[in-house]
Amino acid sequence: MRTRLPRPRRLAPVCLAVAVALTAAGCGSGDDPASGGTVELRFGWWGNADRAAATQKVIAAFQAEHPTIKVKGETTDFNAYFDKLATEVAAGGAPDIITLGGAYPREYGDRGALLDIAKVGDRLKTDRIDAAALGNGTFDNVQYGVPSGVNAISAVLNPALFQAAKVPLPDTDTWTWDDYQRIARELAVKLPAGRYAVADPTRTDMLDVFSRQRGEALYTADGKVGISTRTLTDWWTMTTALRDAKASPPAATTAELQGQPAPEQSLMGRGLAAMAFDWSNQAKALTTAAGQPLELHRVPGESTAAQPGQWLQASQIYSINARTRHQKEAATFVDFLVNSPAAGRIILTDRGIPANSQVRAAILPALSLDESRQVKYIEALTPKAGPPLVIGPTGSTDTPGILDRLNVDVLFGRTAPAAAAEDFVKQVRSAIKE
């Protein structure tokens, strides 16, 4: 475990002086701002090496503005991040600033691990932050975090593969799920071996989209399972048909990828799939990994749906550890991350399109073609997006695991779509203790 003590080398002379003047007990408070020393904050996030490099730059820029605050970055990949965080929170050694997302702010907030942002409102302003995104960090009127940026699920298309197969790109403003399947089948026939029309589309956020288009949702506002078994059955009937048409990869390949969440390892990131669903802020990482320009589009079925299934949401949430000894400094740092154009110019769109309108305007000129595509995608989507997403209740962070397991059973033909649908609802209910 990491200790919270300051770096011994730099503080050793301070300690020695204190020890000589008083007693050795004085060392413990060596990092108190009142004593004239610097405050050390720990900032944890997940992501790839590019994100780490950019974040280190942001930290350097922050430290230049605030010489008395030192920030130490701690990063791992997505899967390991939450395992590590749970352990650290339990041991009382979690970072001062914690990056969260999806249902995690509630998961931790409800358990008392996160600071109510209102308490540090004087240091951390949220008045310019997009309201919908801000809502993703608010539960029962407590603000557990501030959004890093705005994000949306999207259909990622690889035009080079469409071209190789001589299949025209779809009109994604009007396409339906039938169009999606038809195009996938066509691609499956015409693409060279080893390339796939689609990556297996099953993921919890797509179930959100698919059920919302039918007027349902994965979770209801009062924290229950909202998706019907009928919708789930239809979904898996579609994906198994894609598998049978060899439009999606063999079940074993999909299963292997479940344990590898990094964009670099995905079929889209390896340039092996023509269509996939992913979050818009992954566009840059995917494009870089694939080495080919990729496009972001609306998901199928939006124009003919009962209500649009897509929504805008906070891509990530910056939260402050309830147990931090430096609430004010942590708030100052988060304020810098979300409200400073200087930080925005470094992070750009990697953590979503900045939720602060001023920062968004400031970064526009600095964006590359791919990144400005992302901004355009979000801006075009904004008027067409559906209502804000109902974020899952406590326990719902188990849902992706439940879905992955059942999806493998379905893809290997061990469970029929209808049976898997029943099982999914049952298992999620048990996970959220409904």
List residues binding another protein (CB under 8 A). 79-80, 82-83, 86-87, 89-90, 107-108, 111-113, 250-261, 395, 397-398, 401, 404-405, 408-409, 412, 414, 431
In the complex, least distance from residue 408 CB atom to another protein, rounded to whole angstroms = 4
In the complex, least distance from residue 393 CB atom to another protein, rounded to whole angstroms = 13
Backbone dihedral angles phi then psi of residue 57, each to the nearest 5 degrees: -65, -40
Number of other CB atoms surrounding residue 97 within 10 Å: 26
Question: Closer CB to another protein, residue 164 or residue 255?
Answer: 255
Question: Closer CB to another protein, residue 214 or residue 405?
Answer: 405
In the complex, least distance from residue 254 CB atom to another protein, rounded to whole angstroms = 7
270 touches 292 (CB < 8 A): no
Residue 204 CA to chain centroid, in angstroms? 13
In the complex, least distance from residue 116 CB atom to another protein, rounded to whole angstroms = 15
Question: Closer CB to another protein, residue 42 or residue 360?
Answer: 42
Give start and end residues of each alpha helix (H) in 99-228. 104-109, 131-135, 159-164, 177-190, 204-213
In the complex, least distance from residue 84 CB atom to another protein, rounded to whole angstroms = 9
The span from the first CA to the last CA of the chain, in angstroms, equals: 36
- Residues in a beta bridge with 295: 157
In the complex, least distance from residue 410 CB atom to another protein, rounded to whole angstroms = 9
Question: Closer CB to another protein, residue 309 or residue 395?
Answer: 395
The secondary structure element, H or E, covering residue 240 is helix 229-244
In the complex, least distance from residue 79 CB atom to another protein, rounded to whole angstroms = 5
Question: Closer CB to another protein, residue 252 or residue 366?
Answer: 252
Rg (CA), the chain: 23
Question: Closer CB to another protein, residue 370 or residue 409?
Answer: 409
Q: Cα separation of 431 and 361, whole Å? A: 42
Structure tokens at 75: 């990063």
Q: Cα separation of 74 and 98, whole Å? A: 10
**Angle, CA 211 vertex, CA 208 and CA 214 arms, to 5°:** 145
Biggest CA-to-CA distance, the chain: 81
Question: Closer CB to another protein, residue 53 or residue 80?
Answer: 80
